[in-house]
Structure 1
Amino acid sequence: MAETLTVDESSPERTLTTAVPLGTIVVLVNPLSGSVGANAVAEVEAILADYPLTATVVALTPDDFDDQVDAAFEAKVDALFVLAGDGTAGTIAARAGPKGPLVAPLPGGTMNMLPKALYGTGDWKEALRRALESGTEIAVAGGRVVDATDSRPFFCAAILGAPALWAPAREAVRTGRLRLAWLYGVRALRRAFSGRLRYTLVGEHPSRTEALVLISPTISRAIDAGAGLEAAAMNTTGAAEAFRLAAHALFDDWRRDPAVRTRPTRYASVAARSRIPAVIDGEPTLLDSEAEVIFDAVAFRALAPAPEPQAEAEAGV
């Protein structure tokens, strides 16, 4: 069973934000996730004891996950804090939506792109204190990838097309499994040039590309928040260009690569001869042969410090 701890107002030493009410909160913690750690529940409780609020800290478990999340939403608290992997945080943010409670997705995963954009740090303890002390309501834009069978929200980026097959190889390299990375890389190269996406952006004629990347304005530093998603069409003519583009993506600003063309859009349609490989907020998946990408100006409401202009310019990818 999950352990639920309640932290009551006692002798607070630090001051809560006055921008939004924070009398009651729930903190959902997955101790087994990414950078969280086995002692996270106790560490969260110790931090919360410094503030004048009532908090319920829930240690998430696989068997009780759905019930625990249901209970968190049913509690009608002022904010939900999520210290877990990127996937779990995204699931809870998507469920909250624009009309649900404020959500604070703390950096407890591997990439932590959204938490770093919101809090300016990959340290979950620092992010927790920043949310509590200077948090305000932030409208987080995102998108949805919709095909005939599902609607998949994203708050960072969606990669559609054969280059998405590189995601398993990159993950294998990150974890030191080099032989597996090589096998994934060979598979990706074999499929990378076997088919191209047909895509259409708002106001443009249909085009073809190796991959279409849609990036949330919360993450992107190249577009304004209200302009839509940053759409990047990537075109390569062979393995050498594919490797060059991969190197830019890892170590440089890939928008400078001549094989990449970007522009803002609020809608995109894509089609291919077969099912479309995709990576949506870091999660690999297979879409149907036709899909749409729709911009959501307010995907959910985050509890985070108001962004500074310079920080906004430096937070994107």
Structure 2
Amino acid sequence: MTGSADAPARGTRPRFRRVEVVANVASGSVDADAPQAAKKIFADFGVPANVCAPATEELGECLRRAVDAAPDLLVVLAGDGTARAAAEMCGPDGPVVAPLPGGTMNMLPHAIYGARPWQDALTIALDQGEERLIGGGEVEGHKFMVAAILGSPALWAPAREAARYGRRRLAWVRARRALRRAFTGRLRYILDSAPREKAEALVFMCPVTSRALADEERALEAAALNVRGAADAFRLGINALVRDWRDDPAVESRRCQLARVWSARSIPAVLDGESVRLKSLTEVRYDPAVARILSIPPDVRAGDM
């Protein structure tokens, strides 16, 4: 992760007086008793916490109210997409954000706190936490801290979400739509000042989650996915499960700070698990100051990775 002259130095342990907690108990991976458990943990540290546990359709509104309350710390117990939204709302000058694992992938919480339960992550963060300024990506005003996927593979995300909430008919309709669009429109792109190239899809990984980048690197890892059919897509999926997906021959990876991407029509994208639609000509850039995060020391984090 990156720092700045205005951010506390590594090892600075902030003390919080006003805390807001947003817990997505409808996510399926957060127990109904999570709000009370969170209050108890804060009480043990002598810190009062206001906890909001909204229904799924009220999650955005609850998050907005929590940020507008201007707390010292905003705790998000939800998925990567909600953590992304919280960081986007807070920015580098707003509340410190603690993104706890409460979703499906939990890539950001695991990168920051290690692969441990949210109760342990929160307790350790309050006891040993360090305020860090985290870098990530930006596209059309949207921030992301884990990864951005651009291109037809992003069309599968809405189908996945519909299936996740038991809406089978909608999931089937969206899956058929994604299948019709797959392998029909390639992206053109330029990474920094490199020559123009083509790909079926592009993936941009942030330093905090990329295996190829150090936390301090001021760049994104850009991977071009050159799948040309179902067999390539299947092989890439298997490689992603059993080994580093960068080793797959359909993937070409490199560092970049600015990517220009264009297509014949608007570009489907997924930012930290959330679906968006981008313009037919867009730019993805590295942002060194997305938000302030309550992190834990690297040696403690590595203990459970």
> Any idea what SS the aligned residue of 1:308 has?
helix
Amino acid at match of 2:280: S
CA distance in 1, matches of 2:51, 2:284: 36
1:151-205 Cα distance to aligned partner (Å, 9 max, x none): 2211111110112223345557778989987775554443222121000111201
Q: Are 2:267 and 1:270 aligned?
A: no
Say whether the 8 Å CA contact 1:112–1:122 is kept in structure 2. Answer: no
> Any idea what SS the aligned residue of 2:32 has?
coil
From 203, 220, 234, give the equivalent of 2:210.
220
> Any idea what SS the aligned residue of 1:274 has?
coil
From 280, 285, 292, give the equivalent of 1:289.
280
CA distance in 1, matches of 2:25, 2:32: 5
Q: CA deviation at 1:27?
A: 1.8
Structure 1, 213-222 or 58-67: larger mean CA deviation: 58-67
CA distance in 2, matches of 1:139, 1:189: 39
CA distance in 2, matches of 1:179, 1:95: 34
User: If you compute each CA radius of gyration, which structure gives the higher value, 1 or 2?
Assistant: 1
CA distance in 2, matches of 1:202, 1:75: 39
Q: CA deviation at 1:234?
A: 0.9
* CA separation of 1:158 and 1:260: change in aligned 2, threshold 3 A: same
CA distance in 2, matches of 1:142, 1:54: 31
Task: Calculate the TM-score normalised by the size of structure 2.
Answer: 0.85
Amino acid at match of 2:227: T
Q: Are 2:228 and 1:234 aligned?
A: no
Look up the match of 2:198.
208
Q: Are 2:145 and 1:155 aligned?
A: yes
Task: Calculate the TM-score normalised by the size of structure 1.
Answer: 0.82
Say whether the 8 Å CA contact 1:28–1:57 is kept in structure 2. Answer: yes
Q: Are 2:238 and 1:251 aligned?
A: no
Q: CA deviation at 1:251?
A: 3.4
From 65, 76, 79, give the equivalent of 2:73.
79
Say whether the 8 Å CA contact 1:23–1:52 is kept in structure 2. Answer: no
Q: CA deviation at 1:18?
A: 6.8
* CA separation of 1:152 and 1:67: change in aligned 2, threshold 3 A: closer
CA distance in 2, matches of 1:30, 1:81: 11
Q: CA deviation at 1:70?
A: 4.8
Look up the match of 1:46.
40
Structure 1, 49-58 or 190-199: larger mean CA deviation: 49-58
Look up the match of 1:143.
137
1:249-282 Cα distance to aligned partner (Å, 9 max, x none): 2332110001111111111011001121211111
Amino acid at match of 2:184: S
Q: CA deviation at 1:113?
A: 1.0
Say whether the 8 Å CA contact 2:207–2:219 is kept in structure 1. Answer: yes
Q: Are 2:117 and 1:115 aligned?
A: no
Look up the match of 1:10.
none
> Any idea what SS the aligned residue of 1:190 has?
helix
Say whether the 8 Å CA contact 2:26–2:56 is kept in structure 1. Answer: no
Say whether the 8 Å CA contact 1:130–1:304 is kept in structure 2. Answer: no
Look up the match of 1:93.
87
Listed as ranges, the gaps of 5+ residues in structure 2 are 1-10
Say whether the 8 Å CA contact 1:227–1:264 is kept in structure 2. Answer: no
Look up the match of 2:294.
303
* CA separation of 1:122 and 1:172: change in aligned 2, threshold 3 A: farther
CA distance in 2, matches of 1:135, 1:173: 37
1:232-254 Cα distance to aligned partner (Å, 9 max, x none): 01112322112211222233211
Name the structure, 1 or 2, with higher relative contact order (CA <8 Å, separation 6+): 2
Say whether the 8 Å CA contact 2:200–2:228 is kept in structure 1. Answer: no
Look up the match of 2:3.
none
Listed as ranges, the gaps of 5+ residues in structure 1 are 1-16
* CA separation of 1:18 and 1:160: change in aligned 2, threshold 3 A: closer
* CA separation of 1:163 and 1:32: change in aligned 2, threshold 3 A: closer
CA distance in 2, matches of 1:306, 1:74: 29
